[in-house]
Each structure stands twice: as structure tokens, then as C-alpha cells.
Homo-oligomer: A and B are copies of this chain.
Amino acid sequence: MHLLTIGELSARSGVAQSALRYYERLGLIRSTRTGGNQRRYERAELRRVAFIRVAAQVGVPLEEIGAALASLPDARTPTKADWARLSRQWRGRLDEQIHLLERLRDRLSGCIGCGCLSMASCSMFNPADRLATTGSGPRRLLTDDQ
């Protein structure tokens, strides 16, 4: 079973080589090197990359994804059980996310239904609760904590 080159990993995962190198710098994936300093990936890395993409697509910042991946065993190749544990956590996350969107949708429907659209009565237009976070840089979407 041969190790994957970066080109192969990229092709199979659908993630650009530059992004893979970037993930590696952030410590999200690992590679060994050939004598000539080229990266070689174990098949298991493909799973990590897939996990990263799924999580990122859901809006989890890479740093957090890294933290989650860090909980995988370092020495041995992660087992099915290891992945299942991680996936379970992410399922919770997805559920939360979905719930948030549903609430938003239902509020919006309520507004259309009642035709209120007035600042005073409509919760959609009283966003003081979870908007208005402070700090610099771009806002994270759909913040649910902090």
C-alpha cells in the first residue's frame, strides 16, 4: 500500500495542494518526507482531510477543528471508535446549527404571517441578544457561544 503524494491527496480529497500545505502548517494533518523532501501521506490522512472539510463547511474555524483532531490518538492510527466519538460531537454541533437556523426561519415566517414588521413587537428586529459582539476582525457566522 503506497503512500499518497500531495497531488494524489489533493485529487482524492478535492482540496488544493496549497490548502493541504496550509493545513499542515496549522498542524491539522501530518506527513512524512521522502529522501528528496517531498511529502507523503498515509491513507488515514484522507479521512482527516475529509473531516476538516465537513467541519469547515459547517462553519467551525480551523483552530477548533485542530483542537478536535488533537484528541485523536497520536501514536496509533485512529480507529473506527475514535472517529465515531469525534463524529458524535460534531453531530451535536450540526444539530445546534440547524436549530439556530430553524429558529431564525420561524421568526421570519412569523413576521410575514402577522405582517407586523415593527421594531417594537417583532423579535426579528430586536437583535440585541446575540448580535453586537465586540472585537476586531470578521465576525463568525451563527455564533452560538461566548
Contact = CB atoms under 8 A, between A and B. Distances in A.
Which of A57, A83, A128 counts the most B-chain CB atoms under 10 A from its CB? A57
Interface in A1-38: 12-16
A117 B80 CA distance: 7
A87 interface: yes
Interface in A49-93: 50, 53-54, 56-59, 80, 83-84, 87-88, 90-91
Interface residues of A, number: 46
B127 A14 contact: yes
* Copies of this chain present: 2
A10 to B, nearest CB: 9
Interface of A: 12-16, 43, 46-47, 50, 53-54, 56-59, 80, 83-84, 87-88, 90-91, 94-95, 97-98, 101-102, 104-105, 108-109, 111-112, 115, 117, 119, 124-125, 127-128, 131-132, 139, 141-142
Given A14-B131, A47-B125, A59-B142, 8 more contacts: A12-B119, A50-B119, A56-B139, A58-B104, A87-B112, A91-B108, A97-B101, A98-B101
17 contacts: A13-B131, A14-B127, A15-B131, A50-B124, A54-B124, A54-B127, A57-B104, A58-B141, A59-B142, A83-B117, A84-B112, A84-B115, A90-B108, A94-B101, A94-B105, A94-B108, A97-B101
